[in-house]
Structure 1
């Protein structure tokens, strides 16, 4: 009887959208051989696509940090027949060679033979059902690494997770049913093999901390919730999947021993490596992109998976600048820099409003607290080397699962998926006297100042109506920004380097003023008799003296708008 196999190198499991808009499943070989024929990854949700993107880029980073486009090893490296690193003369590392490889690949419009050769030579490492199953461990390793009372016992299984819990479109535990699930109660745990692969890989990046089992360790440790859970991701999207993969293929300034988990001597060595709780800043890009948060083992009973899980340590993310796909936050007390994270109160704030987190908005070193994402630094370098056409339109995206904020669960409750489009020569403007990012940030600051005016306007109306709290103002202002999103994104995408900056900023001011007045007038149209009659203003600190009604509030609002938008 043949042992079951599902090799990800040759079996279709990655969902993509082809150029005709058809959804299809392809293998790793298909992806790298025909990436330009696919629009994008199109899995079960955007967060899953990000995880798969990082896996694909990890493979590319590993291969092309060792060999050039023709498969020749760089002079400072010695490789074995599987393209694994044998020896490195780090002092001879020449990043220019890697950047040249990137340029030639990008110019070629498709990936070269070495990445295909690497996958074929190492195909045994990518078998989801093999003796050393992909992103999992076998039974012997699992039992060796967990406490004795947590070993695999199919009669009384402990420390398991259901498919419906790792399926992030459901995320349902047995204790808290998902009311608005896209699956019926009887089908929540149903999944085909390709779907299971995608969800297992995704689960390693977005996990939560409800597990009752940890790997055995001499030292106590906090369980990881998944590396991506702790980031505010940013990545680039091209016109097809090849371009997307290339734009996110970043090479480090210093030599890094790229080592995805499957290149460790054996999986026990990898588990022990994680138990030592290394600093994330000491890892390579491919190690971070394929990082485990759980040691998983799958037992198959009546062709149904029983998934055993044991928590692994959380890595220290302090100054982990090796991570390309995140924005950063500086702790004002300690001065240390950490990856920024998204929270539930960020749901209504569009990506463009945080423009200054993604790119330096001044050409000088004034912004000491600002650390640009590595992906932005890389794209600037590529642009400066003239490896991207000056009229290249870049789409910067963010997608992330946000947890419930509960330290004991961190279960995902919502996904944020947002983007903005901007020309590369605008984003990486070399004219520091008339620096586009500075003008863009000024327009965003102005927009948010007007947003504050609108909140005060609606909050004053709320008080006029005798309403408690700020719910009316908060909800109205959220809708106000919703009305601004598309106009601002269109304006941002329209910017060019050969335009007069003052003309374009005046254009946005005109749009902003029109929307600000129109949105306020819409509220006026719904005025009640009480709003119109108003009431006497007894607050001596308030600038509006005498009778205060919806019209006096509106007039005061307009004065603020006209004073801010000049």
Structure 2
């Protein structure tokens, strides 16, 4: 039975106090409380914050809250009933909020939200706020215009946002050694890895407003074959006894709700509702990433052959985002139509789509969402520095996906979209080889970097065209013509790069030199490129009235 904390002048209850940054339908930014988010969800467009990863962490917190408030949904029909309503069921939300209200006070003396009451080090050290403010990691400005003075004190609302973020994305590295933590050595908490959300490639389904976003990510309990969510043990930290300084090396993970609210750190904010000035930040519950695909639905998964051989059974790892690559270039891993969760009956699948997109695929197949619906994939990720000890880069991307691309029972559209990525990659390889051949013809060593630069120019040129083309893959469209049109787009993007590379080749490259026992010069390199491009983009050349210059 939970103890009542009592009300005092220092209370800052996140259910009632505005702290979550949102954008309204007309683009205005403001802060709202947890209950206000749910009440006003149809009129709010997205959740924001100081950095995009805050939005990911806070959205998952809200989804966990809604799961518990609704005790579900139990199945697809129950979900469809929620989707058809213009607003969230606030009577049930308020009833649940009343039951857990005492656990949402940021400065409660017994159970402060997402913190440990009385957490301290042997010397009572308190760290500066840069320990939790991710856009100023370890005092080095990264994505911010904030001044050093602004880190002396932050508002309770901002502290709450960073508190949720630090539990999800805090980098690894040495932490404060908390009294009561048996793992502490020499007064230090040694690295246990980044926060759980920092170990995955975050993928949220985003709707037209926050109500849609919450519901699209609200997976039913009967989706047990690929995501465990709900159940007696799958509860958030505000429904169990408060944590102490001690933490578990491998606490069992019962389901998705626990992943959404995993307590990777033990934290105590120093301050009050009038402002927060410091933090005690220690290690919390460690979660290893291997084979969490049945409890973590907001990331794609990849089969790890080395780990599988070592373990003697299939091992899957979260497929983290590469900040140097746009999300569309890894589309195959996201689509259930390409990387389904179902058993293939043979070798382990190389990729598994995010559970949340498998869930949406089933909703589309059963008619609860139309094929014409557009799912906006919001991709979040944190890139860490050396030894995962600092925040290096934050990834935020948005990719609108026509729902038909997700359908596992009708995979043709998804395969066409994936094939188009292959077209881009194949053409990029041709461009890479052209640039390298020209560089070597002029005397440069292999792998000079010329190819990589040319390749990135092509990907940049295809960035917006691919997104536009993808949006056109609607039900009933001619997929063969769509693929042909895309290959023509890729070919057209290659030509200016080819022409500039050839025009910029130095005089020595026209004469050329032997490379691997064959002559390489500008005319030969251009002929090889044109032939190679025709080979990888055959549909672009069908019925062409005038052949592109290709050697006979």
The change in CA–CA distance for 1:560 and 1:303 in structure 2 (over 3 A counts) is closer
Q: Does the residue aligned with 1:422 lie in a helix, a strand or coil?
A: strand
Within the candidate set 224, 229, 243, 2:198 is matched to 229
For 1:429 and 1:208, the matched residues in 2 are separated by 36
**Which residue, 134, 148, 160 being the options, matches 1:197?**
160
CA contact (8 A) 1:232 1:339 kept: no
> What is the CA-CA distance between 1:317 and the residue it aligns to?
2.7
Q: Deviations over 1:494-548 (max 9, x none)?
A: 10221222111111111111111222223334344444x43233532x4xx3xx4
User: Compared with structure 1, are the counterparts of its residues 202 and 498 closer, same or farther at alpha carbon in structure 2 (3 Å cutoff)?
Assistant: same
Query: What's the counterpart of residue 39 of structure 1?
Result: 45
Q: Deviations over 1:48-100 (max 9, x none)?
A: 1001100000101112225x7xxxxxxxxxxxxxxxxxxxxxxxxxx43xx33
Residue aligning to 2:409:
430
Distance 1:462 1:191, change over 3 A: farther
Aligned 8 A contact 1:207 1:226 in 2: yes
Residue 194 of structure 1 and its aligned partner are, at CA, apart by 1.1
- What residue in structure 2 maps to residue 164 of structure 1? 130
Q: Paired residue for 1:15, among 16, 21, 28?
A: 21
1:103-252 to 2 correspondence within 5 Å? 103-112=80-89, 113-131=91-109, 132-139=111-118, 142-143=119-120, 150-151=121-122, 153=124, 157=125, 160-173=126-139, 177-178=140-141, 181-215=144-178, 216-217=180-181, 223-252=192-221
Instruction: Report the equivalent of 1:514.
Output: 492
Q: 1:536 aligns with which of 494, 497, 513?
A: 513
Gap change, CA 1:283 and 1:180, over 3 Å in 2: closer
Cα-to-partner distance string for 1:192-229 (whole Å, 9 max, x where unaligned): 22111101110111111233434545568852410011
Equivalent residues of 1:360, 1:370 under 8 A apart: no
CA distance in 2, matches of 1:137, 1:218: 16
Which consecutive residues of structure 1, in runs of 5 or more, have no partner in the other structure?
A: 69-94, 144-149
Match in the other structure for 2:542: none
Separation (CA, whole Å) in 2 of partners of 1:389 and 1:473: 43
User: 2:16, 2:389 → 1: CA distance?
Assistant: 35
SS in 2 for 1:234: strand
Tell me, yes or no, if the aligned pair for 2:303 and 2:315 is still in contact at 8 Å: yes
Partner Cα separation in structure 2 for residue 471 and residue 539 of structure 1? 19
Aligned to 1:332: 305
Call closer, same or farther: CA 1:178–1:444 in 2, change over 3 Å: same
Q: In the aligned structure 1, how far is the partner of 2:355 from the partner of 2:277?
A: 39
Contact 1:54 1:290 in 2 (8 A): yes
1:135-169 deviation digits (Å, cap 9, x = unpaired)? 11111xx25xxxxxx2362xxx2xx4322232112
Partner of 2:549 in structure 1?
A: none
Question: Take 2:18 and 2:283, find their aligned partners in 1: how far apart are those partners?
Answer: 29
Report the equivalent of 2:547: none
- Note the C-alpha offset of 1:556: 1.7
* CA RMSD after TM alignment: 2.5
- Give the Cα–Cα distance (whole angstroms) in 2 for the partners of residues 2 and 265 of structure 1: 22
Q: SS of the counterpart of 2:270?
A: strand
Work out the CA distance in 1 between the residues paired with 2:37 and 2:513.
69
2:281 corresponds to 1:309: yes
- What does residue 299 of structure 1 align with? 270
Task: Give secondary structure in 2 for the equivalent of 1:172.
Answer: helix
TM (normalized to structure 2)? 0.85
In the aligned structure 1, how far is the partner of 2:144 from the partner of 2:401? Answer: 36
Change (3 A) 1:64 1:181: closer
Cα pair 2:64 2:260 within 8 Å, conserved = yes
The more displaced of 369-378 and 39-48 is 369-378
TM-score by length of 1: 0.83
State the shift of 1:390 in Å. Answer: 2.4
Indicate whether 1:448 and 2:422 are aligned. no
Per the TM alignment, residue 181 of structure 1 is displaced from its structure 2 partner at its CA by 4.7
How many residues in Structure 1 have an aligned counterpart in Structure 2? Answer: 504
Contact 1:285 1:323 in 2 (8 A): yes
Conserved? CA contact 2:512–2:522, under 8 Å: no
Match of 1:5 among 11, 24, 40: 11
Runs of 4+ with >6 A deviation: none
Determine which of 498, 504, 509 is the counterpart of 2:482.
504
Counterpart in 2 of 1:386? 367
Worse-superposed segment, 417-426 or 460-469 = 460-469
* Aligned equivalents of 2:379, 2:442: Cα separation in 1: 39
1:341 & 1:288 partners in 2: Cα distance? 16
Deviation at 1:304, TM superposition (A): 4.6
1:557 aligns with 2:529: yes
